[in-house]
Amino acid sequence: MPIVFAAALAFLLQHFLGSLAWAGLLAVITWPLHERLLQRGWSRVASASTLVAVLVITLAGPSIFLINTLSNELETVERLLGEINQTGVAAPEWLARLPVVAEPAMKWWQENLAQPGGLSSLIQSTAGEFVPFLTGTARTLGATILTNALYLFLAILTLFILYLHGPAVAHYVDHAGNRLLLKHYAALRRLLPLSVRGTALGLCSVALLEGLVLGLAYAVAGAPAPVLLGVITGYLALIPGGAPLAFTSVSLLLLGQGHAGAALGLFCWGAFELFLVDKFVRPKLIGKRVNLPFLAVLFGLLGGVSTMGVLGLFIGPFMMAVLFWWLRGGETEPVPTIIVAGPEHSAPLP
């Protein structure tokens, strides 16, 4: 009966499980900071409000800064395109040296870009073909943004509630876990926060490392605004595929500016650094807390990301930690004691 009810409840809340999962993960990761603030005399509301505000600023701040920077850059690009449209732009010398496609490429350039007003005509003709596609994409994108905004709001609201009533939530979860998994729940309760916090430490440390290392590489390669690009790379490194997208884009930017050697060197260095970090540094940081071997963490990360997306970065190592706990004997651990005091439960989260 409990399993059937749990399955029915999961089906009912299937669209909001991601929000609940992210709220729970963030609560587990940041709970030591919450307890430290409470020990210093902060009220639960003040501590919860402060931590939620810090998380929102940490996640949304760089996005707002990036949008503001891009808006300024777009104004510069708009002025540049206006000047090019008025005067036309001569074909670059390297275009004539391209094998096989040099002659048709030069002809297309002379007809569309070298003539005054040619750029405007090209944009109008190209945009006209894509208007139906862009309209449909805009509608879909708008609905997706609103849906994800709702999920994000629910995750933040749930996190705030967990900060306020975390001990009570832990009490009910422990009670249910001890009833359903009497022999193994204590081990799962111990392994979950260790693996989740280890994963968070690994992700944040690697993101900081990649932001610094690739930011220096951008400066050496001569990329514009290397500090800004390094910060963007660090934040993108928090998600799978973000770091290679960042240094590949900067490499293409350098290539477009005519710095082929710097672009190739940056791309090779980024690929080498990414290989070392993803295959050695990150698994070592994550596996240290739960005593997992290198390959277990690596396959846990890769399998989790490939099947569950970003959430899999946390669930994969946790499942590997449970597997190796079982392989090492799976000894039953003492059930955690839950102390109830008055209207609030004083049991701390793990």
- Please enumerate in sequence order all residues whose Cβ is within 8 A of that of 211, keeping only pairs 6 or more positions apart, or say none: 230, 231, 233, 234, 235, 237
What is the average pLDDT across 44-63? Answer: 87
pLDDT classification of 127: cutoffs 50, 70, 90: low
Residue 46 identity:
A
Please tell me which residue, 346 or 97, carries the higher pLDDT value: 97
Kind of pairing, strands 344-345 and 340-341?
antiparallel
Return the structure tokens found at 156: 């933040």
pLDDT at position 336 over 60 = no
**Greatest distance between any 2 Cα atoms in the chain:** 84
Q: Are 99 and 69 in contact (CB under 8 A)?
A: no
Q: Are 240 and 305 in contact (CB under 8 A)?
A: yes
Q: Specify the pLDDT at position 338.
A: 41
Share of the chain residues as helix, strand and coil, in percent rounded to the nearest 5: 80, 0, 15
Provide the β-strand partners of residue 340. 345
Could you give the CA distance from residue 113 to residue 115 in angstroms, rounded to a whole number? 6
Q: Specify the pLDDT at position 337.
A: 45
- Please enumerate in sequence order all residues whose Cβ is within 8 A of that of 102, keeping only pairs 6 or more positions apart, or say none: 95, 96
Q: Specify the pLDDT at position 155.
A: 93
Please tell me which residue, 50 or 201, carries the higher pLDDT value: 50
Q: Could you say which DSSP state residue 348 is in?
A: P
Specify the 3-state DSSP secondary structure of 340. Answer: strand
284-323: pLDDT as tens digits: 777 777 778 878 888 888 888 888 888 888 898 899 988 9
Q: Are 350 and 231 in contact (CB under 8 A)?
A: no
Q: Are 177 and 208 in contact (CB under 8 A)?
A: no
Q: Specify the pLDDT at position 347.
A: 46
Q: What is the pTM of this model?
A: 0.69
Secondary structure (DSSP) of 196-249? HHHHHHHHHHHHHHHHHHHHHHHHHHT-SSHHHHHHHHHHHTTSTTHHHHHHHH
Could you give the CA distance from residue 127 to residue 173 in angstroms, rounded to a whole number? 55
Could you give the CA distance from residue 90 to residue 94 in angstroms, rounded to a whole number? 12
Per residue in 249-269, is it b (16+ CB within 10 Å) or e — as a string?
A: ebbebbbeeebeebbebbbeb
C-alpha gyration radius of the chain: 26
- Please enumerate in sequence order all residues whose Cβ is within 8 A of that of 288, keeping only pairs 6 or more positions apart, or say none: 198
- Please enumerate in sequence order all residues whose Cβ is within 8 A of that of 300, keeping only pairs 6 or more positions apart, or say none: 292, 316, 317, 318, 319, 320
pLDDT classification of 137: cutoffs 50, 70, 90: low
pLDDT at position 332 over 80 = no
pLDDT classification of 128: cutoffs 50, 70, 90: low
Q: What percent of the chain has pLDDT over 70?
A: 82
Q: Specify the pLDDT at position 1.
A: 63
pLDDT at position 342 over 70 = no
Average pLDDT over the chain, rounded to an integer = 80
Per residue in 1-36, is it b (16+ CB within 10 Å) or e — as a string?
A: eeeeeeeeeeeeeeeeebbbbbbbbbbbbbbeebee
Q: Are 300 and 316 in contact (CB under 8 A)?
A: yes
pLDDT at position 346 over 50 = no
Cα 58 → chain centroid: 12
pLDDT at position 91 over 50 = yes
Q: What percent of the chain has pLDDT over 90?
A: 19
Q: Specify the pLDDT at position 344.
A: 45
pLDDT at position 78 over 90 = no
The CA-based dihedral angle spanning residues 121, 126, 132, 134, taken in that order and rounded to the nearest 10 degrees? -110
